Amino acid sequence: MRNIIRRVRADLRPLACLSLMALASACSNADGGSATGPTPVTPVDTAAPAVRREMRGMWVATVANIDWPSRTTLSADQQRAEFTDILSRAAAAGINTIVFQVRPAGDAVYQSSLEPWASMLTGTQGNDPGYDPLAFAIQEAHARGMELHAWINPFRAGNTSDTLKLAGLHIFKSRRDLVRVYGSNIWMDPGEPDVQDRSISVIADIVRRYDIDAIHADDYFYPYVVTDGAGKAIAFPDDATFLKYGAGAARDDWRRANINRFVERMYREVHAIKPTIKVGISPFGIWRPGFPAGVQGLDAYASIYADSRKWLQEGWVDYLAPQLYWAIAAPQQSFPALLGWWLQQNVKGRNVWPGLAAYRVNNGTSSAYTLQEIPDQINVTRGQNGTGVLLYNTSWTLKQNGGALATALASDLYNVPALVPASPWLDAVAPARPSLALKSGSIEITQAAGEPARWWAVRLKDGSVWTTRILFAAQTTISISSGVNRVLVEAVDQSGNTSSAAEWRR
């Protein structure tokens, strides 16, 4: 459970008071009884509340214009305005991490020499939108105290209906030999070494050129099974690939090995470039039916060849966000049971942050949630010593139902800002304490020598009330009101380690 330390008021009970007139004068006691003689001054200071730690993430889906941009005909200025509105609403709701989809299907929501501009930006794949959405998203998220995780799809390549519209740089056009048609979709074949090289190159390019906080892959590895008109499963067409590279292994084991190799390589290569960038994956929420006992549903291990438990237990992720898109009371996919099982698999002590189905809140389906389901799942997560959640998706979290979920989060569970939990296995050394000074009515933060800060965790006391702010380290000036009499600032590095607090008092 995240570390929540409630405000502690100093209980200073006077044991005796000396009257200036006589030693026999009575003194006030803890019950407030008054007598002749001077009245003790009520202490005005209160102990500072600790800075909270919790993942409060939200996915922003770009594929098919699910969350952003709302349509392909928006100008660059209109797209930026929509995105800043999303971020401002998210910050107001207490969200501290944006998981932004930047590689939906072998395309790019950022400037790339490897893959074409995504069609959801302009309506035509390959057309320059006139700005770099990822660079803009990073800047604006950080300015609001939020992490930005770049969300990629490693092997999805698009829809068969769009093949005539694909740009020349798209893999379907440039390396048709690596792409398989499966149902109504096209896929990069995970068994082809050149496919894995390409996806790793794309990820490495993002990590090198952008100031992201994490790389995030979702649940699409081998595709979910497609059936024919009679309901019979259609085989993924990788016979030739298996003959070239299978080396006598069972095909299912070979496919899992392909995905395992990719996941491990992604983890190693990201950290070889930037050791403190997090790597996260959000797999399907059930590893295998029967784990834990009573759970039924899709077998991700056997059908999409995702051995997600292995990734967690091998330490090939810095966080795992299993998509637990079922209700607390679901009889065959109990949210508390699945969450508890995943937490038990975490033998390396990584972060496990379940994905929650905000899109099910009052969505008119037979599996719809009530508004209270998401807050209840957050509380269940806290009750199992979980350290946070991710919400899918943006539109349902912030806007649907009149923004009721965002309002509920802001008014209660997320009403105090929180830092993202630390990843000390990446870096266990805390940055040095900064120094503070009052200049022209504002607090100026000066970073100490040594490891640079990524964030400032700021606590301000106005009268007897404490507030918390999380600021990107580029912001070194804090405006304060005349009532602020105490300021505490901790330097936080990219792995989440914190310095001791620098303090200013009026």
Rg, the chain, Cα only: 26
pLDDT at 46: 62
Which CATH topology does 435-505 take?
A: Immunoglobulin-like (2.60.40)
Amino acid 256 reads R
Question: Which two structure tokens, joined as six digits, stand for 104?
Answer: 């939906």
Do 318 and 279 contact (CB within 8 A), yes or no?
yes
pLDDT at 138: 99
pLDDT at 197: 99
Helix (H) / strand (E) element for 199: namely helix 193-209
DSSP string, 237-298: S-HHHHHHH-TT--HHHHHHHHHHHHHHHHHHHHHHH-TT-EEEE--BS-SSTTSSTT--S-
Task: For residue range 355-379, list pLDDT tens digits in order.
Answer: 999 999 999 999 999 999 999 999 9
pLDDT at 501: 98
Average per-residue pLDDT in the chain?
A: 92
Task: Indicate the pTM of the whole model.
Answer: 0.91
Question: Which two structure tokens, joined as six digits, stand for 158?
Answer: 């698009």
Identify the CA nearest to 504 among candidates 432, 450, 441.
441
Helix (H) / strand (E) element for 53: namely strand 52-53
Rounded to 10°, the helix 373-383/335-344 angle is 30
Where are the extended beta strands (E) located within 266-421? 278-281, 319-320, 351-352, 355-357, 388-392, 418-419
CATH architecture of 52-419: Alpha-Beta Barrel (3.20)
To which residue do tokens 């000074």 refer?
437
Residue 212 CB burial class (10 angstroms; 0-12, 13-18, ≥19): buried
Task: For residue range 91-124, list pLDDT tens digits in order.
Answer: 999 999 999 999 999 999 999 999 999 999 999 9
pLDDT at 31: 37
Identify the CA nearest to 216 among candidates 278, 137, 297.
278
Do 299 and 289 contact (CB within 8 A), yes or no?
yes
Do 305 and 222 contact (CB within 8 A), yes or no?
yes
Task: For residue range 385-409, list pLDDT tens digits in order.
Answer: 999 999 999 999 999 999 999 999 9
Residue 55: DSSP 8-state = E
Do 469 and 480 contact (CB within 8 A), yes or no?
no
Q: What is the mean pLDDT of each run of 10 residues along the chain (506 residues)?
A: 36 34 36 38 64 99 98 99 99 99 99 99 99 99 99 98 97 99 98 99 99 98 97 97 96 99 99 99 99 98 98 99 98 98 99 99 96 98 99 96 97 98 97 97 96 98 97 98 97 98 96
To which residue do tokens 């303090």 refer?
503
Domain with CATH 3.20.20.80 in the chain: 52-419
pLDDT at 256: 99
Partners of residue 190 on adjacent β-strands: none
pLDDT at 247: 87
Question: Which two structure tokens, joined as six digits, stand for 153?
Answer: 């799809």
Q: How far apart, in Å, do the first and last CA atoms of the chain sit?
A: 35
Partners of residue 187 on adjacent β-strands: 156, 180
Identify the CA nearest to 381 among candidates 340, 412, 330.
340
Domain with CATH 2.60.40.10 in the chain: 435-505
